[in-house]
Amino acid sequence: MKLEHTLPADIERTSMKMITAELAEQGITLAPGTEAVVRRVIHTTADFSYAQTLCFTPGAVGLGAAALAGGAAIITDTNMALAGISKAALQKLGGQAACFMAEPSVADAAKAQGTTRAVAAMKKAAAEYPGAVLAVGNAPTALLEICAQMEQGLRPALVVGVPVGFVNVVEGKETLFAACQRYGVPAIVAMGRKGGSNVAAAICNALLYTAAGLLDPAARGWQG
């Protein structure tokens, strides 16, 4: 077997061309402005169902990218998502990313309040980074806490709601999307059970690459 497209940039470009072609074969037309995010998620998961389950409030991609271009922080609900976010792109934009889930103060607050660490972490994010991009790939309780914080006046730059699972996941996503629409908060949500930290990171990277002019992998210093 002879391998082709072995340079990193060539592999990514070829993959994206294949994704675009397969979407066309399936008769799927992506909503204008959402292409970079949807293709990046499919590239990460090899799951074309995201072309239909990813939901966007109007202008969410552009607004999220603009916020990151302005230096907005990204706060995730898992260290796995944090690890997958491009630090080079963040650095180019002068931004930062953080996850509070492993902090002792968050664990203590969750125990004292009888709630989850995800809830405590989102309360901390709301207090310390009110204009951040909030990226949730694991905990539906985090989504519900974001909704509660929005009721109290929080207005994140963007909410990425893509937790994976079976308990409260579908309902949590639907509740979040409705709340974001109600309060005028940009949102990208993967409806249904699918999602995960890798999806949250992929969406954040698509926004970062858009904001930093790094959608072409060669611009990120990759070979090819």
Residues involved in catalysis: 43
What is the DSSP secondary-structure string of 170-204?
HHHHHHHHHHHHHHT--EEEE-SS---HHHHHHHH
Terminal Cα distance for the chain, rounded: 22
Tell the burial category of 221 from Cβ atoms under 10 Å away from its Cβ (0-12, 13-18, 19+). Answer: exposed
CA 219 to chain centre: 21
Amino acid at 64: G
Whole-number Å distance between alpha carbons of 121 and 99 = 8
Task: Please name which of 101, 98, 117 lies closest in space to residue 109, comparing C-alpha atoms.
Answer: 117
Supply 61's token pair.
């991609």
Place of tokens 């963040």: 90
Whole-number Å distance between alpha carbons of 68 and 131 = 10
Secondary structure letter of residue 129 according to DSSP = -
Residue 203 · residue 160 · CB < 8 Å:
yes
